[in-house]
Amino acid sequence: MMKKIKLLPRAMALGALAAISASAMTSAHAESAAGPVKPELKSLQQHFKTPEWLQDAKLGVYTHWGPVTQAIRHHDQGNFGWYGRFMYQQGHAAMEYHKKHFGDPKDVPYTKIMEEFTAEKFDAAEWAELIAGAGAKFGGPVSIHHDNYAMWDSDIHAWNSVNIGPKRDITGELEKEYRKRGMKFLGAFHHGFTYHFYKYARQNGYQGTEAEFAKLYGPVDKRDEKKEFIPRAFQEQWLALVNEYVTKYNPDLIYYDFGLGWQDQDVQYQMYADYYNYGIKEGKEVTVLQKERAPILRSYSTMDLERGRMDELTPYTWTTDTSAGAWFYHPDSSWEDSNTMIDMFIDIVSKNGIMLLNVAPDFEGSIPPEMKSLLKDFGSWTSQNGEGIYETRPWPIYGEGSVGADSGHFKIENSKARKEAKYGGDDIRYTVSKDGKTQFAFFLGWPESEQVILNGFDVKSAGGKVTLFGYDKAINFEVLADGRIQLDIPKLADLPNDFAYGFKFDGFDIQPRKQGLFYQPNSKTIGAEMAAIHGYHISEGENADGQTVINNWTSWWGSVNFLWRNKFKDSDFTLRAKMRNLNDTNELSVKIFNDGGEVVTLQVNPQVTGDEFVYVDLGDFHLNADGVFQIKIGSEEGKFAPRSMEIEAIQIAPIPVQMKR
């Protein structure tokens, strides 16, 4: 039987760091007033800083586990992550599944599933050992999911793991074991959809309409039909739960599933202020992970992408929460292999990101074999290559290769499930030590060539040493005349690992190579065959390699237009052309413009190339807008020598903040 618990009154809920007794209770409202952070935008922005420990950590693990796992434990179609919602929806497969395995929802409601969730094999120490062994530097449970079941010893919310189900403080046990192993602790709140979660239970006359279950299922209010209304009391209950968790378990960071836009602004700001003042009081660097991408939110919190990542290096640190399979474990889940996940991890780190990896225990509380294998592989790889990952920072040129990524939520590129291209030996990602003295290059597959030239940096001093993690001999290298470094790839019967290969560069004077920007997967190459030609004194032809070229350019008024879609607002770019230029009097006029009236003009005297097609720098430019642009290349009267110019392609690459002049 559950103990009777009374929700904190509104005035206290808004401001309270919830506590058990009068002696332990602290008013967060008073704390915020006394502390430096006020629940106001300007104050939040002034006091926000991404924790250095998070920038160093790179890898965290959290666990989706709870009554949902208990419900979907059967082999047939047990894949309903929002089980408590859909088991009440007429015609939904989850309702049919429930009737088959448990009975009619009227007789066996979701609360009965909670009672059956006893977690008999849960061992916090075993979890912590596996997760810390994988190389995770922070971790924690999904503290509360959309089903409104709290995985902690709550004194203000009766539906929790101590009152019903395991009869254990899951969060408290995990916090103790994670901290014992030097890990930071995470509080993950997934109840952003809770108020609407039990809609079908209420609509269809199931348990949700009974008064005694109102604190679980939420009050019925006709104004919530369009998901535009959340009662103030419900918002304050949410705030009280978060503050209680902070007080009890001292999390180093908080994660929110869904956006926070469903709360009134003052409630959101109060949560941030309460938590940031708590961090100041405890001498801890803390942050909030949230899923909105608007720049203003990044000014006082950390952006998280769900099953996604960025397609470029960002000047700010971000996180991605992702999973190798379903969020909640069920026996028929499909799994990404370790190589895919480790490659993804390296790509995320190279772009200033942090991976928050989901591990999904089974209904009894054991880590399934599939997850144990993944954690073991992560641990093996990070123990060998961690020097180039932990406590590093992104290199201004994050990488090179052919496999790119789309930016945003639910962009799980390089996924076997989505049949994307796999990374190979020509896909390289860079990092650098915090002090900037040691460079690292990770090959996401073993190089096929015996010699590989790296395009991401220039070597100014050749007096250094190159080593390969997991290989006990130095790597032979040569610094080429143009400053790039060429590696001799050893022939090995047994590779250092089965996933990705890290090279370390010690004692070199290295700087970013601007030309290396064009080797990044997010650079764009547009061939001459895609160009629009203007003027009858210019035409298409082929070069000696059979490539389409713009040739027979006999008059200055002929021009060529390339269509290009810019994905980045308010960003800098560099432009070059693969071309042949036979006359030193040529001068090109390059105009970049869109239909919105934004125009940038570059004047270029391209270098004389001789008979070979080479890449020629056309200059840097800044664009305020994203969207479709035209790049028009022409000349002016008296500044063009007939039949002296041919263009095979152009390339555009974003310039990272770290390289802006």
Q: Say whether both 584 and 548 belong to one domain.
A: yes
What are the tokens at 135?
């190389």
Query: CB under 8 Å to 178, separation ≥6 — which residues?
Result: 128, 131, 132, 138, 139, 140, 184, 185
| 604 in any annotated domain | yes
Half-sphere exposure of 176 (CA within 13 A, CB side): 9
* pLDDT of the residue at 460: 87
Q: Are residues 574 and 483 part of one domain?
A: no
* The predicted structure's pLDDT at residue 305: 94
Q: Is residue 186 part of a domain?
A: no
Residues 6+ positions from 57 with CB-CB distance below 8 Å: 137, 138, 184, 354, 390
Q: Residue 490 sits in a domain of what CATH number?
A: 2.60.40.1180
Does residue 436 form part of some domain? yes
CA nearest neighbour of 460 among 395, 509, 396: 509
- Any domain includes 613: yes
Residue that is last in its domain, among 519, 540, 566: 519
Q: Both 410 and 530 in a single domain?
A: no
Could you give the number of structural domains in the chain? Answer: 2
The residue from 484, 519, 554 where one domain ends is 519
Q: How far is CA 563 from CA 267, 593, 598, in A?
A: 46, 10, 15
| pLDDT computed for residue 262 by the predictor | 82
In the chain, which residues have pLDDT < 50?
1-33, 409-410, 413-419, 661
Rounded Cα distance between 320 and 207, Å, is 36
Q: How far apart are CA 602 and CA 611, in angstroms?
A: 25
- Give the C-alpha separation, 634 to 556, whole Å: 7
Could you tell me if 607 and 644 lie in one domain?
Answer: yes
Q: Which residues pair with 558 in a beta bridge?
A: none
Same domain, 648 and 565: yes
Residue 652 domain-assigned (yes or no): yes
* Alpha-carbon dihedral sign for residues 142, 148, 149, 153: positive
- Residue 645 sits in a domain of what CATH number? 2.60.120.260
Range of the domain at 550: 524-659
**Domain end marker among 470, 503, 519:** 519
Are residue 546 and residue 634 in the same domain, yes or no?
yes
pTM, full prediction: 0.90
Instruction: Based on the fold, state whether residues 499 and 401 are members of the same structural domain.
Output: yes
Predicted local confidence at residue 405, as pLDDT: 64
Residue 469 lies in a domain: yes
Query: 484 and 532: one domain?
Result: no
Question: Does 160 reside within a domain?
Answer: no
559 lies in some domain? yes
Same domain, 398 and 511: yes
Rounded to whole angstroms, what are the CA distances from 479 to 234, 460, 461, 502? 64, 9, 9, 19
Same domain, 399 and 501: yes
One domain for residues 621 and 506: no
DSSP 511-572: EE-GGGGGGSTT-EEEEGGGPEEESTT-EEEE-TTS-EEEE---STT-EEEEEEEE--SSEE
Looking at the fold, whether 532 and 645 belong to one and the same domain comes out as: yes
The torsion angle over the Cα atoms of residues 218, 223, 226 and 228, rounded to 10 degrees, is -80
Cβ atoms of residues 566 and 629 within 8 Å: yes
Identify the pLDDT of residue 404: 61
